[in-house]
Amino acid sequence: MVKRQPPSPRPKNPRSIRLTERDRRILETIHAFDGMMSRRQLDRLFFSGQGRTQARQRLHALFSHGYLDRPSAAEIHRVPMGEHVYWLAARGAEVVAGLQGLALPIFTWRKKQSLARVEHDLAINNFRIDVHAACRRSPLLSLGHWIPEGAFRAEPDTAVYQDETGEERARQVIPDGFFTIRRQAQQRPDKVEEFAFLLEVDMATHTNPRFAREKVRAGVAYLHSPAYRKRFGLGYGRWLVVTTGERRLAHLKHVAERVGGSSLFYFTTFDQVSPATVLAAPIWQAAGGNEQVAIIPEAQVISRS
């Protein structure tokens, strides 16, 4: 059994550093990604992506100077083996607040992380990074905006639906993210189509009845609700569910079909998602259908290699 090394405490007198533009972008990105990212993810976005020492050394320097924080020795057991996670410390939050023209006392940021969900939160980040990268691959696709889970937890919407007995229920709907993709028509440069998605990252912790009740019934009702239209200004959207494996996918897809999620819920597995596939490749199975499809039709035609 591999023994985990406890993290070293923040040094009292670290070597001085000069905050760079890349450092500021790292701090901004951590804040935008709901407040926590792994070293692996930051390496992918800002360094080599190969796990070399540069990312480790720079993130450690930002931690040492109070721009970033990380789990303590008592908390490290909650982080998956092989991962190193960071969130904003006070100095980092002050930098991001200043970039947004705000004073720290009125700046909203996550001062403390719930490490019980760290594996789930890192999975959301990985998916989001893949979507960003997929848009960069195509000259016709662009990411409209991304609303993280934290924004929904802070101000949740409520959906009213009927349960399996026909009784009316109300439930707060908190997706793992909401994003839009804009696609410029290949033959019509003046025409832009928009696709809207709600994300559900499934770590196989929900039973089938709970998934039906909390995710599908409430999720379908939310897409058709005034609250959805008011929040996003849209009358369309689909749920994307990314789960652990094909067997779990088949169970969830069957549940969605049984309780009214056909054509509104799309399913895939973590191992199928990459920048090359997440939007453009037929890796998604729609509830109510038997074929695998791409969620952005024809996107693969114009994807860059």
Indicate if 126 and 267 belong to the same structural domain. Answer: yes
Last residue in a domain, options 89, 113, 137: 113
Indicate if 141 and 209 belong to the same structural domain. Answer: yes
| Mean pLDDT on 136-162 | 94
Percent of the chain with pLDDT over 90: 79
Q: Is the pLDDT of residue 67 over 70?
A: yes
pLDDT-derived band at 33 (thresholds 50, 70, 90) equals very high
- Distance, in Å, from the CA atom of 134 to the CA atom of 152, rounded to the nearest integer, reads 25
Average model confidence (pLDDT) across the chain: 93
Indicate if 35 and 78 belong to the same structural domain. Answer: yes
Within 10 angstroms of residue 209's Cβ, the number of other Cβ atoms is 11
Indicate if 53 and 66 belong to the same structural domain. Answer: yes
| Mean pLDDT on 47-60 | 94
User: Does any domain span residue 197?
Assistant: yes
pLDDT at 299: 59
pLDDT at 3: 65
With CA atoms as reference, report the closest residue to 160 among 219, 215, 230, 221: 221
Indicate if 145 and 287 belong to the same structural domain. Answer: yes
Q: Which residue has the higher pLDDT, 30 or 114?
A: 30
User: Does any domain span residue 29?
Assistant: yes
pLDDT digits (tens, 9 = 90+) for 213-265: 889 999 999 999 999 999 999 999 999 999 999 999 999 999 999 999 999 99
User: Does any domain span residue 9?
Assistant: no
Q: Which residue has the higher pLDDT, 184 or 35?
A: 35
Cα angle at 157 between 295 and 141, to 5 degrees? 25
Task: Show the domain range for 73.
Answer: 21-113
Helix (H, G, I), strand (E, B) or coil at 150: helix
Indicate if 160 and 220 belong to the same structural domain. Answer: yes
Provide the domain count of the chain. 2
Q: Which residue has the higher pLDDT, 204 or 223?
A: 223
User: Does any domain span residue 2?
Assistant: no
User: Does any domain span residue 27?
Assistant: yes
Indicate if 77 and 129 belong to the same structural domain. Answer: no
pLDDT at 234: 96
Q: Is the pLDDT of residue 2 over 70?
A: no
Residue 203 tokens read as 């770590």
Last residue in a domain, options 113, 134, 151: 113
Q: Is the pLDDT of residue 283 over 70?
A: yes
pLDDT at 304: 45
Last residue in a domain, options 113, 145, 166: 113
Indicate if 168 and 213 belong to the same structural domain. Answer: yes
Q: Which residue has the higher pLDDT, 273 or 299?
A: 273
pLDDT at 301: 46
User: Does any domain span residue 16?
Assistant: no
For 124-236, strand residue ranges (E) read 141-148, 157-162, 168-173, 177-184, 192-201
Q: Which residues pair with 241 in a beta bridge?
A: 200, 267
Q: Is the pLDDT of residue 124 over 90?
A: yes
User: Does any domain span residue 124?
Assistant: yes
User: Does any domain span residue 6?
Assistant: no
Indicate if 248 and 165 belong to the same structural domain. Answer: yes
pLDDT-derived band at 12 (thresholds 50, 70, 90) equals confident
For position 100, which CATH number holds?
1.10.10.10
pLDDT digits (tens, 9 = 90+) for 77-89: 899 999 999 999 9
Q: Is the pLDDT of residue 188 over 80?
A: no
Indicate if 201 and 280 belong to the same structural domain. Answer: yes
pLDDT-derived band at 298 (thresholds 50, 70, 90) equals low
Indicate if 143 and 107 belong to the same structural domain. Answer: no
pLDDT at 300: 54
Indicate if 54 and 144 belong to the same structural domain. Answer: no
* Phi and psi angles of residue 50, each rounded to the nearest 5 degrees, phi first: -110, 10
Helix (H, G, I), strand (E, B) or coil at 91: helix
